[in-house]
Amino acid sequence: MLWAIRNTINIPFILSTKTHRYFVDQTQKDIVDKRLSDPKFKPYFGKKQQRPHQTLFKHGGIEINHSFAINTSLLLSTIKKHLKEKNILITDTYTPKNLQIHPTHISYKDNQAKTILFCQGAQLEQNPLFSHLPFRSSKGDVLTLKLSQFNPNCNLSFNQWLIPTKETLFKYGATYEWPPYQNLPLESSKQTLLNHFTTFIKTPYTLLNHQSGIRCALTNNKPICEKHPKYDRVYVCSALGSKGFMQAPYLTQQIINTIHGQTCSWFTWYF
């Protein structure tokens, strides 16, 4: 579905990239070495890698095959522009009291529809229709770094990820913090990331930006994608955690099939 979206909006927001996974200890290396002999895993591993210059990955690493990168900000901004041009996007803050659920339709302010599908991410926790769900969301912090003297020409994974965005700029993260947490970038989270970075990569850096966000998730770390147990015209697709881009295309197609009365192959049941 992501490729279909790319072809529709004619913007290259998804790109094939190279990713190198570096081991931070012998245990990680042993796990991968064992998987290399398993036919199920072998297609996903490329050549073994020596540590790059200016790094301290003494256990080496391996290339990950079939790796892609998604430019999230470009994707979202382009889709919004595309939908606005077609006059099918309303930008507003959802207010639960404005939703009216009727036997034959739903209404929200001046809009009516046969069904409503909630894809609210972390905001779903504040939606009274879904207060019964066992949420266990996490907070993550991400840094934007300028590395003028370091150019690996690929994505690096070493318990954290370091992804080149353009020229000497990189995205680096992310932390995991569990409730109770503050929904804003914290100095402690920044230091956690920088300490890990400087442990393994020995190069000057400039910190340009520090962002944070909430990963909506449930207690079993599986998504919720289903019809509401009480209201036949209310649906939800959320709690994708940190794997949203991997799961969203498949799950949204499944929930659309459900809304149209078709049989679906997989769901997580929580209601």
Give yes or no for residue 270 having a pLDDT over 70. Answer: no
| More confidently predicted of 167 and 31 | 31
For residues 224 and 268, is the Cβ–Cβ distance under 8 A?
yes
- 89-129 pLDDT, tens digit per residue, is 988 999 999 999 999 999 999 999 999 999 999 999 999 99
**CA 206 to each of CA 35, 56, 153, 166, 201: distance values in angstroms, whole numbers, following the listed order:** 37, 20, 19, 15, 14
* Range scoring the smallest mean pLDDT among 24-28, 52-56, 98-102, 168-172: 52-56
Give yes or no for residue 181 having a pLDDT over 60. Answer: yes
Q: Average pLDDT for residues 231-255, to the nearest whole number?
A: 87
For residues 145 and 198, is the Cβ–Cβ distance under 8 A?
no
Helix residue spans in 88-200 (DSSP H): 187-200
Please give the biggest Cα pair distance in the chain: 65
201-232 CB burial, b ≥16 within 10 A, e <16: beeebeeeebebbbbbbbeeebbbbbbbeeee
Give yes or no for residue 32 having a pLDDT over 90. Answer: yes
| Percent of the chain whose predicted confidence (pLDDT) is above 90 | 65
Strand order in the sheet with 99-101: 99-101, 106-108, 111-113
For residue 7, what pLDDT is reported? 67
- Residue 139 DSSP one-character state: E
**CA 109 to each of CA 87, 94, 161: distance values in angstroms, whole numbers, following the listed order:** 17, 10, 43
For residue 33, what pLDDT is reported? 94
Whether the link from the prior residue into 39 is cis, omega within 30° of 0, is no
CA angle 167, 173, 174 (to 5 degrees): 155
- 36-86 pLDDT, tens digit per residue, is 999 999 899 999 999 888 999 999 999 999 998 888 888 888 888 888 999
Give yes or no for residue 185 having a pLDDT over 60. Answer: yes
Among the listed residues 95, 123, 99, 94, the one whose alpha carbon sits nearest the alpha carbon of residue 111: 99
Q: What does residue 15 show for φ and ψ, rounded to 5 degrees?
A: -130, 140
Q: What is the dihedral of CA 212, 217, 221, 226, to 10 degrees?
A: -150
User: What three-state secondary structure class fits 29?
Assistant: helix
| More confidently predicted of 249 and 214 | 214
For residue 266, what pLDDT is reported? 47
For residue 182, what pLDDT is reported? 87
For residues 154 and 166, is the Cβ–Cβ distance under 8 A?
no
**CA 212 to each of CA 8, 102, 144, 183: distance values in angstroms, whole numbers, following the listed order:** 30, 38, 11, 7
Give yes or no for residue 6 having a pLDDT over 80. Answer: no
Q: Average pLDDT for residues 252-263, to the nearest whole number?
A: 84
For residue 13, what pLDDT is reported? 79
For residue 214, what pLDDT is reported? 92
Q: How confident is the model at residue 196 (pLDDT cuts 50, 70, 90)?
A: very high
Is 51 exposed, middle or buried, given 0-12, 13-18 or 19+ CB atoms closer than 10 A? Answer: middle
For residues 111 and 173, is the Cβ–Cβ distance under 8 A?
no
Give yes or no for residue 2 having a pLDDT over 90. Answer: no
